[in-house]
Structure 1
Amino acid sequence: MNRAREELELETGEFELAVQLGEVRAVPDGPGRRRVLRDEVDRLRAAEGFPQALRDRLRVVGSGDGAELIGVSRDRFVKLAKGGFIRPVRWYVNRYRAVVWMYLADEIGQYARDHPEALHGRLPVTLRGALDDGVDHRARGWRARRAGQLVRDAADAWEEAAVWAALLGTDGAAEVVPDLYERAYLRRLRSGLPPGRPGEFASRELIDAAVTADHPDEIALARLSLAEALDRARQARPAPRPATRSAPAAEREPRPAAPAVEPEPGPEPGPEQKPEHEPQKRARSEPVPETCSEREPEPRPRRGWRLQRPGDSAGTRRRKKLFRRT
C-alpha cells in the first residue's frame, strides 16, 4: 500500500480516500490487509492528466468552499446537505467540539450540473418543512456511504454481517443476533464503522453518535441487511466457538479401586501392660509434687551489671571516683 501511494504521488489522506471511494482498487491480502496490484498502478499512471486529474477527483471541501464552488450561499448549501442532496465523504471534530463535514468537490459540481433548479429560487416546501423539524441527513448520508464501501470490500458473508452489526451498535446487533458467540465473532471482525480522521478533539461520545444508526428507516434497513447476510454466513460456515476439552477414553472409564491394605496384627497388651501408643494421662485430682514451688523466683541481675546500693546516686559515685584519683 505504501509503495502504491508513493508511485501514485498521493498524500496519506488522499490515498486512504481513494481506496475508500474505489478510485484506487485494492484487493484482500490476508486478514485485515489489502494491497494494490501492479496493473492498477500502471492503469492510473497511464491515465490522461495524471496525477492532477486523480487529485482533483479526491479534493474535499467544506461547506463554505462548496457553496462558493457552485455559486450559492453557505446557508443554502448547508440546507441542501442537511436534506440529503449532497452527502459528506469525511468529517472531523474541531476545537469547539463541533462536527465539521467535508464533501467531494467533484460530486458538488456534478450535483449542480444535474440539478440547476436547486441552486436558485425557493427551496421545495417539503424540504423547508423537514428543516424546520430539525432533520439533518448529513451523518446518515456519511454512514450509508461508509457502510456501502465496507460491504463492497468484505471478503465473505461474515465480514459483510459485521459491517451491519457495527452500524447498529452493540445493543441493536444483540436484538438481531441472539447467539453470544456469533456476536463476539462479529465484534472481532469489526467493532465499529471506521470514523476515518475524526481529529484529536473527538470524544468517544461524538464518535459513537456519528457512526451508529439513529434514524428508524436506517435502523430497519441495517437490521434486514444483517439478518440476510447472517443467513448466508451460517450456511457457509458456523461462527468459531471455544473448543471443549474431552478426556481420553481411558480416563473416562472408571478405574478399579485399589485393595485396602490391612495392618499386620501386633502382640496384644497384657492385663498390666498398656499400649505403647497410649500416653499416660495424669488424673486431675493428683496432687502437685512438693518440688514444684508456687512462688515465682526473684529476678536475677544481668551479668556485668553492678547493683546500686541504697543512697548510692550518680553524684555520689562521681565524687568517690574523684577522691580515688587524688
Structure 2
Amino acid sequence: MTVRQAATTSLALGRAAQELGLRRGEFALAVQLGRVRALPDGRGGTPRFDRREIERLRDRQGFPESLRERVRTVGTADGAALASISQGRFFNLARTGHLTPVRFYVNRYHAVVWQYLAEEVRDFARHHPALLTGVAPPQVRAALAAGEDRRPRNWRGRRLGQLLRLGNDPWGRAAAIAAMLDPVTIAEVVRDPYERSRLRVLRPELVPARPKSPAGQEIVERLRQADDPDEILWHRTSLAHALRQAREESPAPRPAPGHRPQSTAAGPARHHPPGRRRGPKAPDPTARPSGARLSTAGASRARVPAATGREAPSPTAPAPSRRRAPSLFGRLWRRRAARA
C-alpha cells in the first residue's frame, strides 16, 4: 500500500474525533483507554486512525451516546453523587486506593483535580456496598490516620500500563518506564549518555495539557515521578529489563568515529580575524610578582588604572627632584671657565 492509499484509508486525529462526535479531550482519553485503536506508527508521529475502525464504532448500538458515556469522567462532587455517598467518603475511598483516577489537571488555584471514569464509579458502588455506608473498615481508617494518598501512584501505574499497551517499539517502552523516574535515578540505571538521550527524545507526554505557570508545571513534575521506595525499585528493575531488550533490537545511535563537534573546532576562529595572529598577552601592571613583597609606593601605583598611562605619586615617598635647564648666561660662563 502506497503512502497516498494509506492516507485515503486513514483519518487524522481531529477528523476521527469529529466523525465519532467526541471532543479532543474525550477522544484522547478514548485512545488511551483503548476504546479507539490507532494505527501502529513506529516513527513516533501524530497517530492516524483506520476508517474501518471509525465505521465499526459508528455502527454500534446507541452511538454516539454510548461511546461518549464510556469516556465520561467525574470529579469528587459528581462521583459522590453518582455513588450516592457523601463527598467526604468518596474522597477517603479515593485516597486509600479504592478508586483509581484516570487523569488529573491543575486548576488556576494550583490545586490538583483528580478525575475518575463514571462507569468505574458505578461499578464500584455496585460491587462494594459495604464501603458506602456505616463505619469504614480498620485498614481504611489506618491508612487515613497515616496520611496516605495513593491517588498519584495509582494514576502513574494506570498511565504506564496504557503506554506499554499502545507502544510496540522497545525503545518507546523503555522511555515510557523512564518517564516515571527522576533524572538522577535514570542516570544510575542508564550509564550510557547516548541511551539517555534517546530515552529523553522518546519520552511520552503523561499529561495531555501542561499548565503554563511554573508552579503548575512543578506540581505536574512532582506527580509524574515515583516517590515511594517500592515503586521506584519496581520501575528501576523494569527499566533495566526493557533496556536489555531495546539494545538487542537496535543500539542507540552514536556519532561516527573521529567526529568532532563543529563548535569546538571552529571556536577560536570566530574570535580572531583571519590573517591576524594572537600576540602575547600584555603584562598586567597591577599584578603582584611571585615571591616579591609589594611596597607602599607600588601599592599606590597598583590602584591606578593602566589605561591612564601615569602613575600616581606615593603619599609617603619623597617627591623626585627636578633639575632646571641652565640659562644662556650660565652656559657661556662655564665655557669660558673651561678655556681658562
1:186-218 CA-partner distances (Å, limit 9, x unpaired): 11111x642123444562211111111111221
1:10 aligns to what?
22
CA-atom RMSD, angstroms? 1.8
| Structure 2 residue 91 is matched with structure 1 residue 78 | yes
Partner Cα distance (1:189, 1:10) in 2: 28
1:37-71 CA-partner distances (Å, limit 9, x unpaired): 11211110010100000011111111011001011
| Structure 2 residue 217 is matched with structure 1 residue 208 | no
| Structure 2 residue 40 is matched with structure 1 residue 34 | no
Out of 65-74 and 209-218, give the one that drifted further. Answer: 209-218
Partner Cα distance (1:55, 1:223) in 2: 37
1:103 is paired with a residue whose SS is strand
| Structure 2 residue 257 is matched with structure 1 residue 244 | yes
| Structure 2 residue 136 is matched with structure 1 residue 123 | yes
2:244 is paired with a residue whose SS is helix
Give the one of 79, 100, 104 matched to 2:113. Answer: 100
1:168 is paired with a residue whose SS is coil
| Residue identity opposite 1:93 in structure 2 | V
Map 1:1-326 to 2 at 5 A: 1-29=13-41, 30-190=43-203, 193-200=205-212, 203-245=216-258
1:211-232 CA-partner distances (Å, limit 9, x unpaired): 1111122112111111111111
Partner Cα distance (2:136, 2:233) in 1: 29
Structure 1 171/32 Cα, relative in aligned 2: closer, same or farther at 3 Å? farther
Partner Cα distance (2:16, 2:145) in 1: 47
Say if 1:146 and 1:193, in contact at 8 Å, map to a contact too.
Answer: no
Q: Identify which of structures 1 and 2 has the higher relative contact order when contacts are C-alpha pairs closer than 8 Å and 6+ apart.
A: 1
Partner Cα distance (1:62, 1:198) in 2: 19
2:175 is paired with a residue whose SS is helix
Give the deviation of 1:119 after TM superposition.
Answer: 0.9
Give the deviation of 1:75 after TM superposition.
Answer: 0.6
TM-score (norm 1): 0.72
1:101 is paired with a residue whose SS is strand
Bigger radius of gyration: 1
Structure whose residues are more often helix by fraction: 2
Partner Cα distance (1:93, 1:110) in 2: 27
Partner Cα distance (1:22, 1:100) in 2: 23
1:167 is paired with a residue whose SS is coil
TM-score (norm 2): 0.69
Can you give the 5+ residue segments of structure 2 that lack an aligned partner in the other structure?
1-12, 260-340
Partner Cα distance (1:153, 1:170) in 2: 24
1:120 is paired with a residue whose SS is coil
Say if 1:91 and 1:198, in contact at 8 Å, map to a contact too.
Answer: no
1:161 is paired with a residue whose SS is helix
2:182 is paired with a residue whose SS is helix
Partner Cα distance (1:71, 1:168) in 2: 38
Say if 2:211 and 2:217, in contact at 8 Å, map to a contact too.
Answer: no
1:161-204 CA-partner distances (Å, limit 9, x unpaired): 111111112111111111111111111111x6421234445622
Partner Cα distance (1:32, 1:124) in 2: 48
Partner Cα distance (1:220, 1:114) in 2: 33
| Residue identity opposite 1:102 in structure 2 | Q
Partner Cα distance (2:145, 2:205) in 1: 30
| Residue identity opposite 1:21 in structure 2 | L
1:309 aligns to what?
none
| Residue identity opposite 1:19 in structure 2 | V
2:283 aligns to what?
none
Number of matched residues?
A: 247
Say if 1:91 and 1:197, in contact at 8 Å, map to a contact too.
Answer: no
Partner Cα distance (1:126, 1:206) in 2: 29
User: Which consecutive aligned stretches of 4+ in structure 1 deviate over 6 angstroms post-superposition?
Assistant: none
1:4 is paired with a residue whose SS is helix
Can you give the 5+ residue segments of structure 1 that lack an aligned partner in the other structure?
247-326
